[in-house]
Amino acid sequence: MTLKRDENIVRAVCSDKFDGMRLSPSLFAGSNTSVSRLSLISLENHWELFRRHVQKPPHRTLERIAEINVGQLEDVGGNHNPPTQLSVEEDPLAWNQAHAIIPQKISRGLANAILKKLAVHKSD
Amino acid sequence: MMFTEQISNQRLQSAMGSCGFLNPTMTPHTSMLDQPEMEDVLLQKLGVRGWGRTHYFRNVFQSGWGEHGNGKSLSPRAFEAFLRFLQAVQFPAMDKEPSVFLTDQGTIELCWEDTRGASVQVEFRRNDAEYFLEHSGEEGTMDYRSLLALAQKLSA
């Protein structure tokens, strides 16, 4: 099922995709991008979830959590040249019932535009 | 993060030998860099942070590292092209040094800003480079025979 525009989603940002200065555009480039729903799991609990299941210390550590609103994501796609219809689809997994995916292929240019709309959270 | 202390010269040389690093038969325009020359290029163009991350990606991120355990190790061909590009490109004199990222596909990304502050990005893949210029919105790919032309195009 497609997520509604008023939902917010998050994506784990590990050390391979963040160097302390910039986020990697490949964070959103490509297809079937994994995200997770804040409506089902709080941001605070996502830190714990991602630390347990996404990061692989010591070499790949969770550095940030990037957040975007689904409607905002759809608008970025629609306003891009060429326009790209983006959606977020439910895709619950055993380790994360809030898991969802952006199925469409996202170009480098569009990924760059998405990065600019992200709210990037740092662990307390 | 400083990774460099963890990586010995011996390990780097071993890794280079095992992956056919800088084999002149791999692609046209290959330049034969020995280890000190390679270190110089990485340090001069990327600074200590980029230098350390590059070595870390080459030597620590093995197959299966990614989000779903399907991340690939850094492609020797992609790294070879990345190094040749670094030799040729001139970055603008800015406060922020370029950033280096490893993708799940085992390719390597280089990102910086031009003199206008707009993002410039290149992803070195196995057989070609994909680039993006935020200023003009231009996206494209170039095969490795045109790598020097790409470096000129993206130079400050």
Q: What is the rounded CA–CA span in Å between residue A66 and residue A46? A: 11
Tell me how many residue pairs between chain A and chain B have CB atoms under 8 A apart. 62
Q: What whole-number distance in Å separates Cα of residue B100 and Cα of residue B127?
A: 19
Note the pLDDT tens digit of each residue in A33-77. Answer: 999 999 999 999 999 999 999 998 888 999 999 999 999 999 999
E strands, chain A, where? 8-14, 33-37, 62-69, 89-90, 99-102, 119-122
Question: Which residues on B lie below 8 Å from A19 (Cβ)?
Answer: 49-50, 53, 99-101
Helices B9-18 + B35-59 axis angle, to 10: 80
A19–B53: do the CB atoms touch at under 8 Å?
yes
B125: pLDDT strictly greater than 90:
yes
The mean pLDDT value of chain A amounts to: 96
pLDDT at B64 over 90: no
Decide if A30 contacts A84 (C-beta within 8 A).
no
Identify the pLDDT of residue B155.
Answer: 92
Q: Quick check: B14 pLDDT over 70?
A: no
Confidence of residue B7 (pLDDT cuts 50, 70, 90): very low
Q: What is the pairing mode between strands B99-102 and A119-122? A: unpaired
In 3D space, the residue among B108, B101, B112 whose CA is nearest the CA of residue B45 turns out to be: B112
Q: In the prediction, which pLDDT does B20 show?
A: 29
Predicted ipTM > 0.95:
no
Query: Could you tell me the pLDDT band of residue B38, with boundaries at 50, 70 and 90?
Result: confident
Q: Choosing among A13, A23, A24, which should be mutated to test the B contact, i.e. which has the most B CBs within 10 A?
A: A24
Check: CB of residue B15 under 8 Å from CB of residue B58: yes
> Which of A10, A15, A16 would you mutate first to test chain B, the one with the most B CBs within 10 A?
A16
Q: What percent of chain A has pLDDT over 90?
A: 94
Q: Write the DSSP string, B98-122.
A: PEEEE-TTS-EEEEEE-TTS-EEEE
Q: Where are the domains positioned within chain B?
A: 4-154
Query: Residue B63 above 70 pLDDT?
Result: yes
Residue in A closest to B141 by C-alpha = A108
Phi, psi torsion values for A37, nearest 5 degrees: -95, 125
**Average predicted confidence (pLDDT) for chain B:** 81
Given a cut of 50, whether residue B15 has pLDDT beyond it is: no
pLDDT digits (tens, 9 = 90+) for A25-35: 999 999 999 99
CA distances from B115 to A83, B90, B95, B112 (A): 28, 12, 11, 10
Residue in chain A lying closest to B71 (CA) = A16
The pLDDT, as a whole number, for residue B19 is 32
B6 pLDDT higher than 60? no
- Mutation for A interface: B1, B59, B103, most A CBs within 10 A: B103
Report chain A residues touching chain B, CB-CB < 8 A.
12, 14-17, 19-22, 24-26, 34, 54, 56, 59-60, 81, 107-109, 112
Span B111-137, average pLDDT: 95
Q: What was the pLDDT predicted at B25?
A: 34
